[in-house]
Amino acid sequence: MNTLKTTDYNFNGQKSVYHGKVRDVYDIDDKYLVMIATDRISAFDVVLPEGIPYKGQVLNQIAAKFLDATSDIVKNWKVCTPDPMVTVGLKCEPLKIEMIVRGYIAGSAWREYSKGAREICGVKLPDGLRENEKLPSPILTPTTKADAGHDENISREEIIARGIVPENIYEQVEKYALALFARGTEMAAKHNLILVDTKYEFGIYDGKVILIDEIHTPDSSRYFYADEYAERFEKGEEQRQLSKEFVRKWLIQNGFMGKEGQKVPEMTPQYCKEVSDRYIELYESITGDKFIRENTDNLNLRIEENVKKALAELK
């Protein structure tokens, strides 16, 4: 199966291109962004060497669905999705923070808590929590948005004190993030899933806060299966989940956490297919739709033609 690991287009009106960990973003006339969800996969802030079949399509289509389903809460950047792996949206000034909302203590938050931390990003946590336990109410644990390297945990107070985001803007973002999480939780519940935690990114467009990037995808979110949660939790068993955490755990088990001197374990074609199957499983679980595998014979040409047509229509 072909995968899209790199892009190098030259669209009409193109000002620049940014190659992120997973997405390639083309600036068109300082007005629109063409965001291409590649099949790259990252973990511990490292781009892994092999692409995952259909991953870009899964991420882009889930994000598009949730952007449409939450536009009544906050306006978002999406203009159109001309290709299964592409979203064209408004260019705005991104805020230099990521808003992480947690309804349960899991993943990196649990790793910190299990080491003795009782405060994360200025949010105090009670003693006696168990891994994957539901929190009394969802909490916000922001991180800085690093241009390179690792994002860092940061408190609400520090964000405002350092002038990263003005207080009035931060209050809006906080309200929107919690409302989006509530909507995502409702939508997940309809498909036997629990939205455990997720991240949101915001920007400023025409002086107003808008939602940008992806939302509620397996790269930005963690889901548990609702019907198995209580029994597994009571027994102290690992939760069956749909997220990228299984990739992180596989890497940890094979001696890789993104630290200097560590080597990424071999990603065999069979392993890449297993990861692809997990992404497709999440797509079908969270959307309730059958995943349609698009033809991957010539991904670069297909994307180029679809984007060019969309940009011509936007002129």
Query: Over the stretch 12-21, which tens digit does the pLDDT of each residue have?
Result: 999 999 999 9
Q: Name the DSSP letter for residue 213.
A: S
Please indicate, yes or no, whether residues 102 and 231 belong to a single structural domain of this protein.
yes
Quick check: is 7 in a domain? no
Quick check: is 161 in a domain? yes
Quick check: is 32 in a domain? yes
Quick check: is 188 in a domain? yes
pLDDT value at residue 167: 97
Q: Give the number of C-alpha atoms closer than 13 A to the C-alpha of residue 243, restricted to the C-beta side.
A: 24
Please indicate, yes or no, whether residues 218 and 186 belong to a single structural domain of this protein.
yes
Q: What does the DSSP assignment read for 31-99?
A: TEEEEEE-S--EETTEE-SS--TTHHHHHHHHHHHHHHHTTTTS-BSEEEEEETTEEEEE--EE-SEEE
pLDDT tops 70 at residue 213: yes
Please indicate, yes or no, whether residues 65 and 176 belong to a single structural domain of this protein.
no
| Mean pLDDT taken over the chain | 95
Query: Over the stretch 149-197, which tens digit does the pLDDT of each residue have?
Result: 567 899 999 999 999 999 999 999 999 999 999 999 999 999 999 999 9
Please indicate, yes or no, whether residues 177 and 212 belong to a single structural domain of this protein.
yes
Residue located via tokens 């890789």: 256
Please indicate, yes or no, whether residues 65 and 98 belong to a single structural domain of this protein.
no
Query: Over the stretch 99-134, which tens digit does the pLDDT of each residue have?
Result: 999 999 999 999 999 999 999 999 999 999 999 999
Q: What percent of the chain has pLDDT over 70?
A: 98
Confidence of residue 66 (pLDDT cuts 50, 70, 90): very high
pLDDT tops 80 at residue 62: yes
pLDDT tops 60 at residue 148: no
Please indicate, yes or no, whether residues 177 and 237 belong to a single structural domain of this protein.
yes
Query: Over the stretch 230-271, which tens digit does the pLDDT of each residue have?
Result: 999 999 999 988 878 889 999 999 999 999 999 999 999 999
CA distances from 52 to 33, 132, 273, 280 (A): 24, 27, 7, 11
> How many domains are contained in the chain?
2
**Cβ–Cβ contacts within 10 Å for residue 209, how many?**
21
Quick check: is 3 in a domain? no
What dihedral do alpha carbons 268, 274, 280, 282 form, nearest 10°? -130
CB 48 within 8 A of CB 264: yes
What is the domain range of residue 302? 14-93+269-314
Quick check: is 239 in a domain? yes
Residue located via tokens 């630290």: 259
Domain with residue 141: its CATH number is 3.30.470.20
Pick the last residue of a domain from 243, 259, 292: 243
Query: Over the stretch 288-298, which tens digit does the pLDDT of each residue have?
Result: 999 999 999 99
Please indicate, yes or no, whether residues 180 and 238 belong to a single structural domain of this protein.
yes
Q: Name the DSSP letter for residue 18.
A: E
